[in-house]
Amino acid sequence: MLPINIKLCNNQLHLSLLLQEVYLKILFIHPYGSNFMAGVTDITTIFNVMPPLGLLSIMAWLESHAVPSEIIDCYATPLPHELLVKKIIARQPDLVAFSSTTSSFLEAYRIAEAVRNKDARIRIVFGGAHACTMGAPLLERFPAIDFLVLGEGEQTMLELVKSGFSNTDLIPGLAFRDADGNAVVTAPRELIPDLNVLPFPAYHLLPGFPKKYKLPLFSSPRFPNSSIISSRGCPYQCSYCDRSVFSKGFRFNSPEYILEHMAMLKRDYGIRHVFFYDDLFTFDRKRVAEFCELKRKKGIDVSYNCIARLEHVDAELLSLLKGSGCWQVNFGIESGDPEILKQHRKFYGLDEVGRKLKMVKDIGMRVKGLFMVGLPGENEATIRRTIDYALTLPLDEINVTKFTPFPGAPLYKTLLEFGEYHEDWNLMNCMNFVFIPTGMTKQQLDDLYNEFIRRFYRRTGIHWGYTKMIWKSPHSVLDFLKNLPTILKFERQQKW
């Protein structure tokens, strides 16, 4: 195992690196992660293709400091491995930077390794959730990686580029190998205290935006649409969440900044609907109220969806959201078993959930429930309790994920006390069961998952709700019909 040295640095020292005028050709890669479910048609690009906002934020920050960059988004435009490598080499970059999740990491590394074999001059950088979670030990197993960006990437990438790869031990938020081949981790990168200093994501550098990008089917009334992230971090302590990149705090853009962001998307790209992809859009009540009031006053004709926690919801908040153009609210419900909920997240009384969701429906917004199957401590009875519970709720649609134990989540250290874990990064995309709770089998979990989806969507009320989408979300209906053969093939494979 590589020895790892922690090198602390003086913040004043690393700022001097910015004075160096070193210009490199930078290429960002957003890997596709072509590992949906084994033997099942991949329909992810039918239902949801969102711009890689993390990379676009870094690119915008670099551009604001006169450092140009390019991006290849393999998710919006999947390319065969050989062709992608050829395109990367043809651009003759000095640095290729990958942002990857756990499930897309190995695919990203295969690309990086091929690039390195073609041109040893190119430096390889990895960032994103997996790099931040695993840290310096990745350098031992994956020798093609030169640098890991740990934490927020904007300032770290800028300083790395400006340094010309020298004096990198003075740059916070990096892991790399020293001259002796030992892994070095620099001081932690301080979080950006005021997110308003960041420019809007560099949508203009994204080929095919906005036509190649779309929110999930039936989740928006208008097209074109896109996504916005207006905050970072989460103060809650759910057992299954990995907070390695943005930590546990909560920072956010001001209402004025958000509205300028929405106005820019409408003016420059014709965006008519956005999804606030924040973990907790409604956490800061004062911010939400100011945003809603200001949006009404300014008359920005862009509708939106958001994610909220049930404990934040009351009649006043819902009235503000509806009055400012909110079309759909998503809620993380996770389970219908109270003991499972108490084990894994801050408990919220199940009796109250239906009442709160009905309030959202009654005021005229759609409701989507987010559930998880296969958590540690689960058994067939708890999962069936969740299914039965979900069918009692006034939900328009659901999203059910297969529990995936990410290495940065609090429960990861005690996982084996509750079941069997097969650590296959390729399959860790919330669509494959890599953890099997004690007393259960993978087949049993898959069958219950499929039963959940089948029982929820094969109901008359749900069918009528989607029929109404002909006039509520006409672009979704057209997209659905265009892709109907692929969707039907997927349903047959899933035995829904």
pLDDT of 157: 96
- Residue 206 near residue 75, CB atoms below 8 Å: no
Indicate whether 253 belongs to any domain: yes
pLDDT of 465: 86
Is pLDDT of 288 > 70? yes
Token pair, residue 411, equals: 């429960």
pLDDT of 406: 87
Indicate whether 193 belongs to any domain: no
pLDDT of 13: 43
Q: Are residues 225 and 153 in the same domain?
A: no
Q: Are residues 343 and 429 in the same domain?
A: yes
Any long-range contacts for 79-86 (C-beta under 8 Å, 24+ apart)?
81/110, 81/111, 81/114, 84/111, 85/111, 85/114, 85/115, 85/118
The pTM score is 0.91
Asked which of 132, 165, 186 is the last residue of a domain, the reply is 186
Token pair, residue 52, equals: 């890689």
- Residue 132 near residue 55, CB atoms below 8 Å: no
Is pLDDT of 457 > 70? yes
pLDDT band at residue 224, thresholds of 50, 70 and 90?
very high
Is pLDDT of 136 > 60? yes
CATH number reported for the structural domain that contains residue 453 in this entry: 3.20.20.70
Assign 3-class secondary structure to 284-339: CHHHHHHHHHHHHHHCCCCEEEEEECHHHCCHHHHHHHHHCCEEEEEEEEECCCHH
Is pLDDT of 2 > 60? no
pLDDT of 327: 96
Mean pLDDT of 199-221: 93
pLDDT of 246: 63
Asked which of 165, 186, 207 is the last residue of a domain, the reply is 186
b/e map of 278-294 (b: 16 or more CB within 10 Å)? bbbbbbbeebbbbbbeb
Residue 322's alpha-carbon distances to 188, 266, 317, 358, in angstroms, are 41, 20, 9, 14
Mean pLDDT of 394-421: 91
CA dihedral (301, 303, 306, 311) in degrees, to 10, reads 80
pLDDT of 146: 97
pLDDT of 43: 76
pLDDT of 250: 86
pLDDT of 54: 95
Assign 3-class secondary structure to the chain: CCCEEEECCCHHHHHHHHHCCCCCCEEEEECCCCCCCCCCCCCHHHHCECCCHHHHHHHHHHHHCCCCCEEEECCCCCCCHHHHHHHHHHCCCCEEEEECCHHHHHHHHHHHHHHHHHCCCCEEEEECHHHHHHCCHHHHHCCCCCEEECCCCHHHHHHHHHHCCCCHHHCCCEEEECCCCCEEEECCCCCCCCHHHCCCCCHHHCCCCCCCCECCCCCCCCCCEEEECCEECCCCCCCCCCCCCCCCCCEECCHHHHHHHHHHHHHHHCCCEEEECCCCCCCCHHHHHHHHHHHHHHCCCCEEEEEECHHHCCHHHHHHHHHCCEEEEEEEEECCCHHHHHHHCCCCCHHHHHHHHHHHHHCCCEEEEEEEECCCCCCHHHHHHHHHHHHHCCCCEEEEEECCCCCCCHHHHHHHHCEEECCCHHHCCCCCCCEEECCCCHHHHHHHHHHHHHHHHCCHHHHHHHHCHHHHCHHHHHHHHHCHHHHHHHHHHHCC
pLDDT of 172: 95
Token pair, residue 342, equals: 């108490």
Indicate whether 156 belongs to any domain: yes
CA distance 9 to 293: 45
Indicate whether 206 belongs to any domain: no
Q: Are residues 371 and 484 in the same domain?
A: yes
CA distance 214 to 357: 26
CA distance 219 to 328: 7
Mean pLDDT of 362-383: 95
Residue 256: phi and psi, rounded to 5, are: -65, -40
pLDDT of 19: 44
Token pair, residue 71, equals: 């991006």
Taking alpha carbons only, the member of 304, 321, 303 closest to residue 359 is 321
Q: Are residues 174 and 255 in the same domain?
A: no
CA distance 490 to 143: 38
Domain count, the chain: 2
Indicate whether 332 belongs to any domain: yes
pLDDT of 362: 95
- Residue 173 near residue 158, CB atoms below 8 Å: no
pLDDT of 207: 94
| Residue-wise pLDDT tens digits, 422-446 | 999 889 888 899 999 999 999 999 9
Indicate whether 157 belongs to any domain: yes
Domain coverage including residue 312: 215-494
Asked which of 136, 167, 186 is the last residue of a domain, the reply is 186
pLDDT of 147: 97
Q: Which residues contact 354 (CB under 8 A, 6 or more apart)?
A: 392, 393, 394
Mean pLDDT over each residue of the chain, to the nearest integer? 89
Residue 67: phi and psi, rounded to 5, are: -115, 105
Q: Report the range out of 235-244, 352-361, 470-479 with the highest average pLDDT.
A: 352-361
Q: Are residues 314 and 269 in the same domain?
A: yes
Is pLDDT of 494 > 90? no
pLDDT band at residue 20, thresholds of 50, 70 and 90?
low
Q: Are residues 238 and 275 in the same domain?
A: yes
CATH number reported for the structural domain that contains residue 10 in this entry: 3.40.50.280
Q: Are residues 470 and 418 in the same domain?
A: yes
Q: Are residues 333 and 463 in the same domain?
A: yes
Q: What whole-number percentage of the chain has pLDDT above 70?
A: 92
pLDDT of 12: 43
Sign of CA dihedral 418, 420, 426, 432: negative
Indicate whether 357 belongs to any domain: yes
Q: Are residues 373 and 433 in the same domain?
A: yes
Kindly report which listed range (144-153, 308-317, 482-491) carries the lowest average pLDDT score.
482-491
Q: Are residues 263 and 148 in the same domain?
A: no
Q: Are residues 223 and 168 in the same domain?
A: no
CA distance 206 to 14: 30
Indicate whether 176 belongs to any domain: yes
| Residue-wise pLDDT tens digits, 328-371 | 999 999 999 999 988 888 767 788 899 999 999 999 999 999 99
Q: Are residues 410 and 271 in the same domain?
A: yes
